[in-house]
Structure 1
Amino acid sequence: MIAAIDHVQLAAPAGAEDELRAFYVDVLGMAEIPKPPVLAARGGCWFRAGSVQLHLGVENEFRAARKAHPGLRVTDIEAYAARLEARGVRVTWDDTLPGHLRFYTQDPVGNRLEFLEPTPTA
């Protein structure tokens, strides 16, 4: 039986690892985790924040998905959005999900990322 999501895999073009590290570590505040040596030889990089893991793998003929994305739950979403904007990241708010505050952004290679926080119920 499925118990949890272990990680989410996103694609990236070859040679984008330094740019991805700068974004996922310095901007989003995630930690890079080492890839097993046999997988590291393929390129890409892995990141973690708490129990959440994002794996960025090299894809030949990379094209960022326009709709597919991970939904990442955050705390203090307004402060988190301000953190990203202060680092030059474009944040697009979306108010169409009842019971949540959320925004979208893109990583440096165009992967769509959703950040959301449930709103307190009355």
Structure 2
Amino acid sequence: MEEREERQEPATGSHFVGKKEDLIKAKRSFRTVEGRDILVLYHQEIFYALDFHSYHAGGPLQNGDIEEFDGKLCIVCPKHKFKISLAKGESIYRATNPYDPVPTPRWYSKGIKQRIHTVTEI
């Protein structure tokens, strides 16, 4: 008789990460959910959640400043100053296109780089 190894799939659905009042008071909270380190943020009356470590070099995003760039609310990685949008996990940078007749700095996207997570209040 052949023994089968049972694969454990990641749990789906919601995970309790804390009481709303506590998360609001803390503004930034570290949680581990299914082995993944998560940063839960409360900023301008909105909850955000994203992987705790920067996609680039593992910098702790918990210590990053929150700033607005090109209309996008971002957390700035304290290690290398990468800008990551809170809403989508998109990495943005400012540069000039040398082929433009008048090179003017503007914001570009590197695409979605940082994993974000949905926060649901109950």
TM-score range, shorter chain: under 0.3
Higher helix share: 1
Q: With structure 1 as the length reference, what TM-score do the two structures score? A: 0.22
Q: Which has the larger radius of gyration?
A: 2
Considering Cα pairs closer than 8 Å and 6+ residues apart, tell me whether 1 or 2 has the greater RCO: 1
